[in-house]
């Protein structure tokens, strides 16, 4: 079977095939099959990232291609019982950023859906092999040098001990080595990504003509502005992240400049080269708008609030459409398929769940700071909010309110560089512990907290 050609010249033809049934067992009574294993491997020799789904028996499956507009494709596997454990799978490198494993309820059966989020448009293929029955998804690393040829029976045994049997295989011509600019050894396709490293996007809130909140009290004769504290704390977090062996940080701003919400949301896409982020963290300081509540203090963590209704989910989808430039006028747009809305809502909920999980890890870590442990409301430390900057389609996103500028005592703390380092270290440890919990291959380098000021 040839890989899917995903450029514009073939896109019109391929759209007609997005609903083609790739595999259909002989007509017989439909019986449920169980999922035995899902595994991924980077096959450098063949230039592919391979995902193997092993099942207890044969079952039909579809693939649907939304790469041109959404940067993902999906594979639906039918008659799966019991439902699989829902999770994210993150390959160490290559063009597959993450694989989302989720369950959907078709009107007639249980469906296992695998969503392959890619760094950019790539060739891929989906096929099955027997004994035992497996569905194999190959995503090709090369953006050039692939010459699709007529299907030809061959034996595939690239995944050691995992795949053997007669299957169609696309021949790959000698790879074309692209010119790589100095310092971009970790550049994959047109997206920056260092193998084995988690990428964190740090977003110091406000900046330039937008000062954010301002303190009521003066420190050294001037009132503190939120934009300056956000930047100082974000820089310290970046320093700690960049010193770790398996994380790297980028900042939406590194100076006192204004950035619109759209610029912050689209930072990964607009960066030169574009970035594959694993976590978006927006840094802010809190404020109370009432004299009666100026005593409020403590750190708070927020993840996106979809309002818990379909209306909230649709608002997110509309924002996502606007961010991606819409889906064009093609009548075969993926959004015309009912499955898109079902998938998008379910995928949104997975990202929201990830945001909450990130917040819980940050909370647990920051409670190790004596001041935060003494002054906190544990019930309010993790909250939901409709913050536009948290609309991130490709990664979990959270917002941290490090403390209240409107609290006179806490304002003094926030202005202290020693406390800033302590808070930054706790946030760093929370990030590292989150990645460890979600990726068993990640080895965190946790740091001791600086002495309390």
What pLDDT is stored for residue 429 in this prediction? 97
Token output for 86: 């829902």
Burial class (CB in 10 A: 0-12, 13-18, 19+), 380: exposed
What pLDDT is stored for residue 375 in this prediction? 87
CB–CB of 280/390 below 8 Å? Answer: yes
Q: Among 78-82, 150-154, 311-315, 357-361, which is the least confidently predicted range?
A: 150-154
What pLDDT is stored for residue 289 in this prediction? 67
What pLDDT is stored for residue 235 in this prediction? 97
What pLDDT is stored for residue 287 in this prediction? 84
Highest mean pLDDT among 145-149, 272-276, 327-331, 353-357: 353-357
What pLDDT is stored for residue 331 in this prediction? 35
Highest mean pLDDT among 103-107, 217-221, 245-249, 276-280: 245-249
- Per-residue pLDDT of 117-168, as tens digits, reads 998 888 999 999 998 999 999 999 987 544 433 233 233 333 333 333 333 3
Dist CA 180 CA 192 (whole Å) = 12
CB–CB of 359/301 below 8 Å? Answer: yes
- Per-residue pLDDT of 425-441, as tens digits, reads 999 999 999 999 988 88
Mind listing the domains of the chain with CATH numbers? Answer: 8-168 (2.60.40.3500), 196-438 (3.40.630.40)
Mean pLDDT of the chain: 75
Of residues 441 and 113, more confidence is placed in 113
Dist CA 339 CA 76 (whole Å) = 10
Contacts of 271 (CB under 8 A, 6+ apart): 192, 250
- Per-residue pLDDT of 391-423, as tens digits, reads 765 688 999 999 999 899 999 999 999 999 999
Q: Which strand (E) or helix (H) includes residue 339?
A: helix 338-366
Is residue 25 over pLDDT 90? no
Token output for 313: 């989910």
Is residue 107 over pLDDT 80? no
Nearest CA to 204 out of 271, 257, 282 is that of 282
DSSP letter assigned to residue 15: H
Of residues 377 and 260, more confidence is placed in 260
Q: Which strand (E) or helix (H) includes residue 166?
A: strand 166-168
pLDDT interval class at 190 (50, 70, 90): very low
- Per-residue pLDDT of 335-375, as tens digits, reads 333 444 555 555 556 667 788 999 999 999 999 999 999 98
Nearest CA to 51 out of 1, 110, 96 is that of 96
The pTM for the full model equals 0.57
**Helix-then-strand count for the chain, H and E:** 10, 22
Q: Tell me: cis bond preceding 281? Omega within 30 of 0 counts.
A: no
What pLDDT is stored for residue 180 in this prediction? 29
């Amino acid at each position: 079977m040839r890989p899917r050609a995903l450029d514009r010249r073939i896109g019109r033809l391929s759209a007609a095939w997005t609903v083609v049934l790739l595999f259909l067992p002989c007509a017989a009574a439909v019986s449920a099959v169980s999922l035995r294993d899902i595994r991924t491997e980077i096959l450098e020799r063949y230039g592919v990232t391979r995902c193997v789904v092993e099942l207890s028996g044969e079952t039909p499956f579809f693939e649907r291609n939304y790469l041109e507009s959404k940067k993902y494709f999906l594979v639906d596997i039918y008659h799966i019982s019991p439902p699989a454990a829902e999770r994210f799978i993150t390959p160490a490198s290559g063009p597959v950023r993450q694989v989302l494993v989720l369950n959907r309820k078709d009107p007639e059966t249980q469906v296992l859906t695998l969503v392959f989020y890619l760094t950019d448009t790539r060739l891929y293929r989906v096929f099955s092999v027997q004994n035992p029955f497996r569905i194999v998804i190959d995503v090709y690393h090369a953006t050039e040098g692939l010459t699709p040829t007529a299907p030809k029976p061959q034996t595939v045994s690239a995944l050691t001990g995992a795949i053997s049997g007669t299957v169609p295989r696309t021949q790959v011509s000698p790879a074309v080595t692209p010119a790589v600019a100095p310092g971009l050894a970790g550049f994959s396709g047109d997206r920056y990504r260092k193998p084995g490293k988690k990428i964190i996007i740090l977003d110091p809130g406000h900046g330039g003509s937008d000062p954010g909140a301002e303190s009521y009290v003066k420190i050294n004769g001037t009132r503190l502005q939120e934009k300056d504290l956000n930047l100082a704390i974000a820089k310290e977090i970046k320093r700690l992240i960049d010193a770790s062996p398996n994380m790297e940080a980028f900042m939406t701003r590194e100076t006192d400049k204004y950035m619109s919400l759209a610029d912050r949301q689209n930072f990964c896409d607009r960066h030169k080269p574009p970035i594959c982020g694993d976590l978006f963290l927006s840094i802010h300081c809190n404020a109370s708008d009432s004299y009666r509540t100026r005593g409020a203090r403590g750190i708070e963590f927020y993840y996106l609030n979809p309002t818990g209704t379909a209306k909230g989910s649709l608002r997110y989808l509309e924002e996502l459409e606007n961010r991606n430039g819409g889906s064009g006028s093609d009548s075969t747009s993926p959004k015309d398929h009912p499955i898109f809305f079902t998938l998008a809502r379910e995928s949104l909920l997975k990202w929201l769940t990830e945001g909450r999980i990130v917040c819980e890890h940050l909370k647990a870590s920051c409670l190790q700071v004596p001041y935060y442990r003494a002054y906190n409301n544990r019930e309010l430390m993790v909250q939901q909010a409709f913050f536009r900057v948290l609309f991130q389609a490709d990664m979990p996103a959270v917002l941290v309110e490090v403390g209240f500028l409107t609290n006179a005592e806490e304002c003094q703390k926030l202005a202290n560089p020693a406390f800033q380092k302590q808070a930054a270290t706790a946030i760093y440890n929370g990030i590292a512990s989150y990645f460890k919990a979600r990726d068993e291959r990640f080895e965190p380098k946790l740091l001791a907290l600086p002495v309390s000021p």
